[in-house]
Amino acid sequence: MSGGTITLDGAGTGTDPAAAEWVHGFIEGWRAPADAESFADYFDALMTDDIRLVQPQVPTAVGRHAFREQFARPIFELIPDLHAIVHRWAANGDVVLIEFTLAGTLGGRPVSWDCVDRVVLRDGLASERRAYFDPTPLFGAVATRPRVWPRFARLQAQQLRRRLGLGGGS
């Protein structure tokens, strides 16, 4: 697998220019998002219309609208200052692996967890993103911060309604 370590300025070495450009966009989008809307707006330009988003604990989401409604809005509602620190990445053909840490404040205290995203590019845009992470640190943080329980319960209920085909309830 070719690739390179990413520094905070987004420099990469030894990889396909399209993959390097996409990763640079990923880094910039996650550096310090202002809110869910601006985050989703930014990533719209990096995804295909039919993007497929797979991650632990939530139903698979398909499309840009689903990215906004099922990923960006819920996670930023819980952790408004969420951002990512990219540690390294590699590319092989149209597949990019990005290792990073998500961090922010949940219920007035810091929370973070490590992730790896496997992104499939089509014509320079993400057509699939599969996230690999252990959700235990996030669930542990929720469990020890009672003031976020109502928000978390509401978001979980929305996810359950989606799974059951009863609508998302935004």
Is 43 a domain residue? yes
- pTM for this entry: 0.83
Burial of 106 (0-12, 13-18, 19+ CB in 10 A): buried
> What mean pLDDT is predicted for residues 28-33?
95
Query: What's the pLDDT tens digit per position in 55-111?
Result: 987 889 999 999 999 899 999 999 999 999 999 999 999 999 999 999 999 999 999
- Distance CA(116)–CA(56), nearest Å, equals 12
Is 145 within a domain? yes
pLDDT digits (tens, 9 = 90+) for 42-59: 999 999 999 999 998 788
- The domain that contains 53 carries what CATH number? 3.10.450.50
Question: Is the residue at 42 inside a domain?
Answer: yes
Determine, yes or no, domain membership for 132: yes
> What value does the mean pLDDT take over residues 144-156?
84
Is the pLDDT score of 132 beyond 60? yes
Q: pLDDT band at residue 24, thresholds of 50, 70 and 90?
A: very high
List residues bridging with 109 in a β-sheet: 106
Range of the domain at 159: 2-163
Neighbours of 140 (CB within 10 A): 12
What pLDDT does 148 receive?
86
Instruction: Examine residue 17 and state whether it is found in any structural domain, yes or no.
Output: yes
Domain count along the chain: 1
Query: What token pair was written down for 156?
Result: 């979980």
Q: C-alpha angle 120/128/48, rounded to 5°?
A: 95
Could you tell me if residue 168 is inside a domain? no
Residue 169 lies in a domain: no
Averaged pLDDT, 142-148: 88
